[in-house]
Structure 1
C-alpha cells in the first residue's frame, strides 16, 4: 500500500487540538532567530542568580589567548562587574594540550555547567565566540540546551556574524568588515588582501560568499576571502589574483585567535604554507598574524552580543 492509498482513522477533537498545538510549537521554534532563550518551567519559582559563560573553541597559543579570548572576557566584565564570568573551551584536544604544556586546566562545557549548577546559578547567559553559525556554534547551542533541566533559564548569543540586513535586521557582515578595515594596509596598484577564514562542510560556509559580496558593495577594493577547510580555497583564489593583475598579497586571518592556522598553515615556512604556495606562483607576500580578537572594534561587536544576550535573559515574559 502506498501512502496515498492509506486511509487513517479520523482524529478526535482533542487529537486535532494536540496535533495543531504540536505544529504551531514546531513552526514557532523553526522561525525563531537571534538570541536563543530557553526556559525551564519546572524551576520558574527558583531565585534568580545570574552568570555569564563564555564558550570558545580555545587555543594552545598563550599570547594570542591573552590578547583575544581573555581580552573579550575582560571587556564583558567591565560591562557587568557584578556578574561572574565563567569560561569553557569546546576543544578537548586544546584543553589537554594547555594542561600538559602550561599546567592550566581549562574547563570543558561539562565542567563549566557542573560548576555553575553546584554554585547555585540559575540563569545563564552563554556568549559564543564563534565567527559564523556553523558546526561549532550548533554544538554550543545544543550542549547548552541539554543543560536546561539544571537551570531556570539559559540564553545563548548569536555568533559574530549572523544577521545579514534582511527585513530591517542589522547587517553583521558589513559591521565586521567595517571593524576589520581599520587593520587593512593601504593598497597600491597591484596589491591585494587575502582574508583567510576557517571554512566548514556546514551550509553556513555560504556566509563567506556573503562576505565577498559585501566587500564589493562597500568598495573595499581587491580584498578576497578564502578558506582553509571549505570553499573558496586558496587554489580558487590564485587564478582570480592573476586575472586582477595582483603582484603583492597580504595574508590576514579572519579568525578569533592567531593560532596554528595563522602561524603555520597561512604564514609558516613549510613548502605547502599559503605564503610559500603564493610565492611559488610569483607573488610577493606579507603576513598579518593577529586574531580578530586583537582588534578593539571587533571586540566591541562581541561585547554587543553579550549585552544582547543579557537583555534577553532579563526580559520579562
Structure 2
C-alpha cells in the first residue's frame, strides 16, 4: 500500500511542470491581436464616409483580425457625439480592447507626417502598454511620410490622382496642413523636391508651415491677362473643414479666393488622400510592418 502511495505522489509531482507548461502554452495561444486606425476625425459627412471606407478596406484586408477606428481630435469627437456619432478616442479604444481580452494591438497612425498629432498617438500607446491585466504589447505604424522613400511614393501617387481633365502645363498646388516646428515640418519641402523631379508645374504648400502661401504664389508667378487654369488639391487625409473652408470656401482668405483675385481660373481637384488607393497602400505597408513586429515579439 505504501508503494502504491509513493507511486501516486511521484506521478503527481512529475505532472506539475507539465501542467505549468501546458498552461503557459494555452495562455500564449489565447493571445489576441487587434488593429486600431487612428484618424484625426471630422464633422463633415463625406469625410466620415471616407473614414468608414478605410476601415472596411482594412477589415477585408486583415480579416478576421478586429479593426477599430479611433479619433484624436477632442473637439471633433465632442461635436460628433452631440449628433449621435460616437467614435472613441485612442485611449478609450485601447482600454476597451484590453477589457475585451485582446493582448496585442497594432495602432496605425493615419497622420501624414511625424508631427505633434503623431507624437500624441505614440504617447497614448506607450501609456497603455504593459499595464496589469491590460495590453501586453502595442505596435505603432508610421505616418504616411516617415521616410524619403515614402515621400517619393507619395509624389507618384499624388500625380496619379489628378483629374484626367488637367491639360499639360497647367499648374497644380497641393495644400496640406503643415507643421511649424519639428521634423514633421521638413517633410513638405522634401515632397516638393520629389514632385519637382516629376512635374515642375506641381507645387506643395501648407496652411501653417513651409512652404507657405506667399512662397507658393511667388513660385507660380503672375498669371497674366488670360486667366489661365490652376488646380488646387487637398494634401489632407480627409476633406474636412480645412478643405471645405480654407481651400475652397467663399471667404476672402481662402486659397480659391486669393488665387482668383491674383488672376487664376481655379479648378478643384477634390480628392483627399484617404480616397487615393496608392496612398492607402503606403499606410497599409506601415501597418504590415507594425503587425510583423508584434508577431516577431510574440515569438521571442
For this structure pair, what is the TM-score category when the shorter chain's length is used for normalisation?
A: 0.7 to 0.9
Cα distance per residue 1:206-230 (max 9 Å; x no partner): 110100110122x223100110011
Q: Secondary structure at the match of 2:171?
A: strand
Counterpart in the other structure of 1:233 = 212
Query: Following TM superposition, by how much is the alpha carbon of 1:292 offset from its aligned partner in structure 2, in angstroms?
Result: 0.7
Q: Which residue of 2 aligns with 1:216?
A: 196
Alignment-derived partner of residue 134 in structure 1: 115
Residues in 2 aligned to 1:84 and 1:290: alpha-carbon distance in whole angstroms: 28
Q: Please state how far the C-alpha of 1:118 moved relative to its aligned partner.
A: 0.9
SS of the aligned residue for 1:149 comes to: coil
Distance 2:53 2:28 in 1: 36
Counterparts in 2 of 1:40-189, with a 5 A limit? 47-67=30-50, 69-101=51-83, 103-150=84-131, 151-164=135-148, 171-185=149-163, 187-188=166-167
Which residue in the other structure is 1:18 paired with?
none
Alignment of 1:21-40 (within 5 A): none
Match of residue 180, structure 2, among 193, 201, 208: 201
| Bigger RCO of structures 1 and 2 (CA < 8 A, at least 6 apart) | 1
Q: How far did 1:66 drift? A: 1.3
Contact 2:222 2:262 in 1 (8 A): no
For 1:206 and 1:56, locate their aligned partners in 2 and report how far apart those are by CA, in whole Å: 22
How many Å separate the matches in 1 of 2:29 and 2:64?
Answer: 20
Query: What displacement does 1:117 show?
Result: 1.5
Partner of 2:22: none
Give the structure with higher Rg (CA). 2
Higher helix share: 2
| RMSD value, Cα | 2.0
Deviation at 1:267, TM superposition (A): 0.4
Quick check: 1:126–1:157 contact (8 Å CA) kept in 2?
Answer: yes
User: Is this contact kept in 2: 1:72–1:302, CA < 8 A?
Assistant: no
Q: Is the 8 A contact 1:54 1:126 kept in 2?
A: yes
Displacement of 1:64 in angstroms is 2.1
Unaligned ranges ≥5, structure 1: 1-43, 165-170
- Structure 2: segments with no counterpart, 5+ residues: 1-26
**How far apart, CA to CA, are the structure 2 residues paired with 1:188 and 1:125?**
42
Tell me if structure 1 keeps the 8 A contact 2:233–2:269. Answer: yes
State how far apart, in whole Å, the 2-side matches of 1:52 and 1:197 are.
27
Relative distance call for 1:243 and 1:257 in structure 2 (3 A) is: same
Q: What count of residue pairs does the alignment treat as equivalent?
A: 265
Cα separation, 2, equivalents of 1:136 and 1:115: 22
1:269 aligns with 2:250: yes
TM-score between both structures, scaled by the size of structure 2: 0.83
